[in-house]
């Protein structure tokens, strides 16, 4: 048999089966129909909850916007992979140079993306450019806190403005960019002896 004829016949048969099933469903009593519809609604809600929980505990893709990470991330239209599992698993396992997203200490409804500069106990220079603080001013990062900074120092509001931020504010680590190109973010820090 010619494949086209076969496909047409198969489609027609499956359509007939579907119409038959629909007729059968509509001829059922009202209570049964309500039960089936209600159960499907429950299943849909359940699936949405499962997706939400995956995004909350394992990881998600998210759209980035803003000028503060300019050479690394463009100011709009980039999609990145956020890894939340490693932060949930080990909340203090953050290294210098990691890209992180965190809840803004200035506005709880905002999420910001920055690079980690200093870990607890490090001595950091508040602002090497001397614009927001004298370039000789140094600070010790307190216990449980991080020093964060945007890659685009001129257009970033970061620890230079609000000081060290709590590690508890950290939401996720940025692992890769998937749109417009695929890039895996590697830790760029090199240590000098």
Partner 1 sequence: MAFLSRLRIGRNTSNGAPRSRRIPALIFWSPLALAFGNYFWTVKLISGRSMQPTLNPDSSLWRDFGLFDKFSIRSRHAYQRGDIVAIVSPEDPRRMIVKRILAIEGDTVRTLPPHPDPEVRVPVGHVWVEGDDSFHTDDSNRLGPIPAALIESKLSNGAYGGNFEFRP
Q: Which residues in this chain contact partner 1 in the complex, by CB under 8 A?
A: 39, 42-43, 45-47, 49-50, 52-53, 56, 91-92, 103-109, 143-145, 162, 165-170
The sign one gets for the Cα dihedral 44, 45, 46, 50 is positive
Please say if 104 is a catalytic residue. Answer: no
Q: Kind of pairing, strands 145-149 and 111-118?
A: antiparallel
Cβ-based nearer residue to partner 1, 97 or 163: 163
Q: How far is the CB of 51 from partner 1 (least distance, A)?
A: 8
8 A C-beta contact, residue 171 and residue 102: yes
Please say if 68 is a catalytic residue. Answer: yes
Cβ-based nearer residue to partner 1, 25 or 179: 25
What is residue 102's three-state secondary structure?
strand
Cβ-based nearer residue to partner 1, 6 or 162: 162
Q: 27, 43, 68, 156: which is the annotated catalytic residue?
A: 68
8 A C-beta contact, residue 143 and residue 127: no
């Amino acid at each position: 048999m010619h494949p086209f004829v076969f496909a047409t016949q198969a489609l027609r048969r499956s359509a007939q089966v579907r119409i038959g099933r629909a007729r059968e469903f509509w001829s059922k009593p009202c209570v049964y129909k309500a039960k089936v519809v209600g159960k499907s609604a429950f299943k849909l809600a359940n699936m949405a909850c499962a997706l939400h929980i995956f995004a909350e505990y394992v990881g998600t893709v998210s759209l980035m916007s803003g000028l503060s990470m300019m050479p690394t991330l463009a100011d709009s239209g980039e999609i990145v992979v956020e890894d939340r599992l490693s932060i949930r698993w080990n909340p203090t396992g953050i290294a210098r140079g990691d890209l992180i997203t965190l809840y803004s200490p200035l506005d709880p409804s905002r999420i910001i993306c920055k690079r980690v500069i200093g870990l607890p106990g490090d001595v950091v220079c508040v602002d090497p450019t001397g614009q927001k603080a004298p370039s000789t001013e140094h600070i010790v990062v307190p216990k449980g806190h991080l020093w964060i900074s945007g890659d685009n120092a001129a257009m970033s509001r970061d620890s230079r403005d609000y000081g060290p931020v709590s590690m508890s504010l950290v939401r996720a680590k940025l692992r890769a960019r998937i749109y417009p190109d695929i890039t895996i973010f590697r830790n760029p820090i090199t240590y000098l002896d």
